[in-house]
Amino acid sequence: MDASLGTAYKSNTQLARCITENWASAYLYCAACRNNALEASPPNTKAVDLSCLSCGANYQLKSGRKWNQRRIPDAAYNAMIAAIESDRTPNLLVMQYSSMWRVENLMLIPSFFFAKSCVEKRKPLGAQARRAGWVGCNIRLDAIAPEGKLTIVQSGVPAAVDVIRESYEKLRPLSQIPAQVRGWTLDLLRILQTLPTAHFALNDVYAREAELAALHPGNKHVRAKIRQQLQVLRDAGLLTFNGRGIYRLK
C-alpha cells in the first residue's frame, strides 16, 4: 500500500482508512461480477466504502494491524440489525496489514451471509464518553459459516480472481432467500458444517435442536423449521438429498 497518501491526517484511524481504501480502490475487483475495478465511495458515506459501478455491489472495508478471526467491531447495534432485516448489509472485507503497510490477509464475507446470530451487542458507552449511552456491536466472524469467508489474500499471497468469483457465484442462491428466513438458513448451514461428516441423516441434525432453539427463542417448532430449511438449502444447491434419508453437503 502507498503509505505516503495518509500524511495529511493527524489521527491514526483516518490515516489507516485513507491508505487502505486507496489500495482497495486501486487493486480490488468485484467478486460479484466480472468488473475489475471498485469505486471508492464519497467521504462519509455510511457503511459503504467501495462500490461496483457495473453490478451495484457494495463493500465495506474493515482493516487493522491485528488479525482477529473471532470478532471485529462494527457500527451501531440497532443499525446493523435493521440492515440485516431489510437485506441492506454490504459485502464485508476484513483486512490485516503489516507495520510496513503490506496486505497480509484479506477476507470477503458476502452480504447475504450476515444473520442476527453473528451480531453481538457491546456495552453502552459510559457517561464520560462523547456519545454516552451509544450501543455498538461486534461481528462474530466465528459465527459465520466457513463457506461465507472467502480468502482473497492469505499471508501476503493473493488467490486467483476467478476462484473468488466462482465461490461467490456458488453462494449466490442464498441471496434469493428472503432476509426474514435467511437467518435460519445460515444458522443451520453453520451447524451442518460442524457435523463429523458431509453425509448425515435427519436425526443428526435433530440432535442439535437445542442450539437452534437457543438462537431462535420465538420458534416453538424447531424440528419443522429444520426440515424446511434443509429443503431451502437443497433448493439453493448447497445440499443434496439422496432419497434414503441421507443428506450430503456440497
- Shortest Å distance, C-beta 23 to Zn ion: 19
Q: Is 33 in the site for Zn ion (CB under 5 A)?
A: yes
Nearer to Zn ion, 30 or 93 (CB): 30
The helix-helix angle for 222-235 and 179-193 (nearest 10°) equals 90
Q: Which is nearer to Zn ion, 172 or 208 (CB)?
A: 172
Q: What angle do CA 4, 91, 144 make, to 5 degrees?
A: 115
Is 30 a binding residue for Zn ion by CB under 5 A? The answer is yes
Vertex 236, ends 234 and 241: CA angle to 5°? Answer: 15
Q: Is residue 164 a contact point for Zn ion (CB under 5 A)?
A: no
Separation CA 42–CA 176 (nearest Å): 29
Q: How far is the CB of 123 from Zn ion (least distance, A)?
A: 37
The contact pattern for Zn ion, residues 38-77, with x = CB under 5 A and - = no contact, is --------------x-xx-x--------------------
Smallest separation (angstroms) from Zn ion to the CB of 58: 10
Cα gap 211→225, rounded to integer Å:
13
Burial of 66 (0-12, 13-18, 19+ CB in 10 A): exposed
Contacts with Zn ion by CB under 5 A lie at 30, 32-33, 35, 52, 54-55, 57
